[in-house]
């Protein structure tokens, strides 16, 4: 008669007032009011502050939309006129493929640099460290101009014995067009930053994984590609999404070497007709659309690399919630289910 | 130490093995023979060098002196007159393919299904056709009592099941020798038995095994030889009936009283 246990043996259901006969054992202590406690309804904690702030934010959001739509000085009709204009579309196209090319080759290089940085070979390690140090120190704008103006620094390049006779030489003038300078400069920039992102991801992988693969007789290259890199991806993808979206907009610095990307195309138009804000809106809306698409893509990439990370046994499928459920769960006042509350708030 | 019939060359010969980490001696001249088809259990307090010895056997650790020989071949080195020259990683990799290893933390690849875990190395390293590798993997899964779990991911399984997959993965390389590094130490007590049973079956089927463990019962039942290490040296070795029931060395006696 010394235990104070309110839950009772195995029948904690609040409904039936008469529990099943208790199993043999020491009799449980009964306190006054146990019956009421057992039949009481469980009330979850309310969050009135969330509702109030959501309401206030909705009003502010409505005001924002209202002023953007009704302020005539935004000249939305002009925005509409120029939105899919030929020169803008060409700029958009250039921005897209420059970003894609720069990110693809930058990451290829960056993964290599990260692997070098973690290698046992001190020469490779030193080389990778120096590369990252130098490329992260030089502003991308300076880099673009450096490659573009290479001819003024080194008018002639030659092949030969170092400090000895030379076999061949060529002039560097016109070696780098604006677009090639942009590609090379931004690629090296991405390589330096992405190598650090990749290195962080590689370090996050349990060293036991490498060891197990080695014990199975796998070679270093296969261990890296098949075992370590895929497991590093969940740590690499979010930061890389950031870098990609950043680079999408950072490509606009190519305007300094007269490469016509999305932003520069709009600039060329508004320097003639002075419709500055509407044309900047054209570029901004395009950037918003592209960023949105990339964010959605990032969601699916993250979900792909999360395979095997869940404990639910639906044949290894990642958490079954799709993009829409998660987006809706994060909107205030909409579709907040119990599971969303448990997971996200 | 030199036990019985010396005619047939043991599968594993360890001679004068030394290893130190930053000044502390972990292995201090280990001599050990493991004959084909025998189970050798390494016992000893933590820090006595059991795991390091095991990891030297497949060259996951480089020894500072002495050598390990498997099937007449020096592990990780090539003899060149009075020198042992370190092998290129590619050749060490080839040697390791004949030595399976099972880890305390299982180290299954979490991004691969059970089937991919088991078939990846045989296909990539041994060049086995995928179909054959899959068929073999299914047999092995049945052997460790996990048929039908091919498509599960490791994190969806209990520790005991994961360790059994890890054993199947090691067996898929058809190793001549299996190393176990405290295979049950990370398991809940009620899951230890299922892993030990699989290991006992392997021993009965004639697999050569070196096992680091604290499971004295397993050592008594399954081991052909029990080796007791302390401070990087072998202080006692022999059949379990001798070493476990009547240890002569005082450290071994103290250790056995503590764990039993």
User: How high is the ipTM of this complex?
Assistant: 0.88
pLDDT band of residue A172 (cuts 50, 70, 90) is confident
Q: Which residues of B touch A (CB under 8 A)?
A: 58, 60, 89-90, 93-94, 96-97, 99-101, 103, 105, 107-113, 120-121, 124-125, 151-156, 166, 169-170, 173, 179
pLDDT band of residue A330 (cuts 50, 70, 90) is low
Say how far apart CA A185 and CA A191 lie, in whole Å: 10
pLDDT band of residue B140 (cuts 50, 70, 90) is very high
Say how far apart CA B89 and CA A234 lie, in whole Å: 29
**Cα distance from A318 to chain B (closest Cα, Å)?**
11
Say how far apart CA A221 and CA A66 lie, in whole Å: 57
Give yes or no for residue A154 having a pLDDT over 70. Answer: yes
Say how far apart CA A302 and CA A316 lie, in whole Å: 15
pLDDT band of residue A257 (cuts 50, 70, 90) is confident
Q: Do A231 and B153 touch (CB under 8 A)?
A: no
Nearest CA-CA partner of A119 in B215, A111, B133: A111
pLDDT band of residue A191 (cuts 50, 70, 90) is very high
Give yes or no for residue A320 having a pLDDT over 70. Answer: no
pLDDT for B179 equals 97
pLDDT for B149 equals 93
pLDDT for A31 equals 87
Range from A102-106, A157-161, A229-233, A253-257 carrying the lowest mean pLDDT: A157-161
Q: What are A11-23's pLDDT values in tens digits? A: 444 445 565 666 6
B127: Cβ contacts below 8 Å, ≥ 6 apart: none
Q: CB of A99 within 8 A of CB of A251?
A: yes
Tokens of B126: 């041994």
Tokens of B76: 């990780």
Q: Do B153 and A308 touch (CB under 8 A)?
A: yes
pLDDT for B103 equals 96
Q: Which residue has the tokens 């809940």?
A: B188
pLDDT band of residue A314 (cuts 50, 70, 90) is very low
Q: How many Cα atoms sit within 13 Å of B5 on the Cβ side? A: 5
pLDDT band of residue A165 (cuts 50, 70, 90) is confident
pLDDT for A22 equals 63
| Nearest residue in A to B155, CA atom | A311
Contact list, B180 vs chain A (CB under 8 Å): none
Q: Do B155 and A311 touch (CB under 8 A)?
A: yes
Q: CB of B86 within 8 A of CB of B93?
A: no
Contact list, A208 vs chain B (CB under 8 Å): 103, 105, 107
Contact list, A311 vs chain B (CB under 8 Å): 155-156
Which member of B89, B125, B151 has the closest CB to residue A316?
Answer: B151
Mean pLDDT of chain A: 84
pLDDT for A27 equals 82
Mean pLDDT across the stretch A161-172? 80
CB atoms within 10 A of CB B136: 18
Q: Which residue has the higher pLDDT, A163 or A88?
A: A88
Give yes or no for residue B12 having a pLDDT over 70. Answer: yes
Say how far apart CA A223 and CA A202 lie, in whole Å: 12
Contact list, A201 vs chain B (CB under 8 Å): none
**Cα distance from B216 to chain A (closest Cα, Å)?**
26
With b for 16 or more beta-carbon neighbours within 10 A and e for fewer, the B167-199 pattern comes to: bbbbbbbebbbbbbbbbbeebeeebbebbbebb
pLDDT for A321 equals 61
Mean pLDDT across the stretch B144-168? 94
Contact list, B101 vs chain A (CB under 8 Å): 212, 215
Highest averaged pLDDT of the listed ranges A123-127, A167-171, A303-307: A123-127
CATH architecture classification, A73-161+168-306: Orthogonal Bundle (1.10)
pLDDT for A315 equals 44
Contact list, A215 vs chain B (CB under 8 Å): 58, 60, 96, 99-101, 103, 170, 179
pLDDT for B1 equals 42
Q: Work out the percent of chain A whose per-residue pLDDT is above 70.
A: 83
| β-bridge mates for residue B15, sequence order | B67
The secondary structure of residue B17, as a DSSP letter, is E
pLDDT for A325 equals 67
How far are the Cα atoms of A74, A262, A270, A290, B6 from residue A276, in angstroms, in the given order? 10, 14, 5, 21, 94
Say how far apart CA A205 and CA B29 lie, in whole Å: 34
Mean pLDDT across the stretch B48-77? 93
Mean pLDDT across the stretch A255-268? 90
Range from A1-5, A121-125, B228-232 carrying the lowest mean pLDDT: A1-5
Q: Do A214 and B96 touch (CB under 8 A)?
A: yes
A307 touches chain B (CB under 8 A): yes
pLDDT for A331 equals 57
Which member of A216, A305, A312 has the closest CB to residue B173?
Answer: A216
Mean pLDDT across the stretch A197-213? 94
Mean pLDDT across the stretch B178-189? 94
Give yes or no for residue A302 having a pLDDT over 50. Answer: yes
Q: How many CB pairs below 8 Å do chains A and B form together? A: 89
Q: Do B105 and A208 touch (CB under 8 A)?
A: yes
Which member of A214, A220, A308 has the closest CB to residue B155?
Answer: A308
Mean pLDDT of chain B: 92
Range from A41-55, A293-307, B67-81, B246-260 carrying the lowest mean pLDDT: B246-260
Q: Which residue has the higher pLDDT, A332 or B167?
A: B167
pLDDT band of residue A322 (cuts 50, 70, 90) is low
pLDDT for B4 equals 47
pLDDT for A161 equals 83
pLDDT for B193 equals 93
**Cα distance from A238 to chain B (closest Cα, Å)?**
18
Give yes or no for residue B192 having a pLDDT over 90. Answer: yes
pLDDT for B35 equals 95
pLDDT for A108 equals 95
pTM over 0.80: no
Distance from the Cα of residue B106 to its chain's centroid: 13
Most B CBs within 10 Å: which of A201, A208, A212, A304, as the mutation test of the B interface?
A: A212
Coil, helix or strand at residue A156: strand
pLDDT for A344 equals 41
Range from A45-54, A74-83, A271-280, A301-310 carrying the lowest mean pLDDT: A301-310
Mean pLDDT across the stretch A216-226? 91
């Amino acid at each position: 008669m010394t235990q104070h246990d309110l839950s009772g043996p195995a029948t904690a259901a609040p409904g039936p007032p008469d529990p099943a006969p208790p199993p043999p054992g020491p009799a449980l202590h009964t306190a006054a009011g146990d019956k009421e406690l057992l039949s009481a309804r469980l009330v979850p904690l309310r969050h009135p502050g969330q509702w109030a702030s959501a309401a206030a934010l909705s009003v502010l959001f409505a005001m924002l939309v209202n002023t953007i739509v009704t302020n005539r000085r935004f000249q939305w009709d002009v925005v509409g006129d120029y939105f899919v204009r030929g020169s803008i579309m060409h700029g958009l196209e250039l921005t897209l493929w420059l970003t894609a090319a720069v990110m693809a080759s930058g990451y290829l290089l960056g993964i290599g640099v990260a692997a070098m940085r973690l290698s046992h070979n001190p020469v490779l390690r030193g080389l990778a460290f120096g590369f990252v140090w130098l490329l992260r120190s030089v502003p991308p704008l300076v880099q673009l101009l450096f490659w573009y103006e290479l001819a003024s620094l080194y008018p002639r390049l030659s092949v030969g014995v170092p400090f000895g006779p030379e076999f061949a030489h060529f002039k560097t003038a016109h070696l780098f067009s604006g677009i090639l300078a942009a590609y090379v400069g931004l690629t090296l920039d991405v390589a330096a930053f992405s190598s650090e992102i990749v290195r962080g991801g590689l370090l996050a992988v349990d060293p036991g994984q490498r060891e197990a693969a080695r014990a199975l007789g796998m070679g270093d290259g296969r261990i890296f590609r098949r075992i370590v890199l895929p497991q590093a991806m969940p740590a690499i993808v979010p930061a890389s999404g950031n870098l990609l979206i950043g680079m999408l907009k950072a490509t606009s610095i190519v305007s300094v070497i007269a490469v016509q990307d999305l932003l520069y195309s709009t600039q060329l138009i508004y320097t003639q007709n002075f419709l500055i804000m509407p044309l900047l809106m054209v570029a901004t809306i395009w950037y918003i659309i592209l960023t949105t698409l990339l964010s959605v893509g990032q969601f699916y990439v993250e979900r792909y690399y999360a395979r095997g990370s869940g404990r639910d046994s639906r044949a290894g499928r990642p958490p079954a919630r799709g993009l829409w459920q998660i987006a809706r769960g994060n909107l205030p006042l909409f579709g907040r289910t119990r599971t969303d509350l448990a997971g996200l708030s | 130490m030199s036990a019985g019939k010396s005619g047939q060359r043991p599968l594993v010969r360890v001679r004068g093995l030394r290893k130190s980490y930053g000044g502390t001696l972990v292995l201090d001249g280990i001599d050990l023979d493991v004959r084909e088809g025998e189970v050798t259990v390494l016992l000893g307090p933590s820090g006595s060098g059991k795991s390091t010895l095991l990891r030297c056997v497949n060259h996951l650790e480089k020894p500072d002196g002495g050598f390990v020989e498997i099937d007449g071949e020096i592990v990780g080195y090539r003899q060149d007159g009075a020198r042992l020259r370190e092998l290129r990683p590619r050749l060490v990799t080839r040697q390791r393919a004949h030595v399976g290893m099972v880890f305390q933390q299982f180290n299954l690849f979490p991004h691969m299904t059970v089937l991919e875990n088991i078939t990846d190395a045989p296909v990539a390293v041994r060049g086995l056709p995928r179909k054959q590798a899959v068929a073999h993997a299914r047999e092995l899964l049945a052997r460790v009592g996990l048929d039908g779990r091919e498509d599960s991911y490791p994190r969806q399984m209990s520790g005991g099941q994961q360790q059994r997959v890890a054993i199947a993965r090691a067996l898929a390389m058809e190793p001549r020798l299996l190393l176990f590094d405290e295979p049950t130490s990370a398991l809940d007590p009620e899951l230890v038995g299922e892993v030990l049973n699989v290991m006992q079956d392997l021993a009965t089927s004639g697999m050569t095994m070196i096992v680091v463990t604290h499971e004295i019962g397993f050592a008594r039942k399954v081991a052909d030889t029990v080796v007791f290490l302390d401070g990087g040296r072998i202080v006692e070795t022999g059949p379990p009936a001798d070493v476990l029931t009547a240890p002569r060395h005082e450290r071994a006696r103290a250790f056995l009283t503590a764990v039993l």
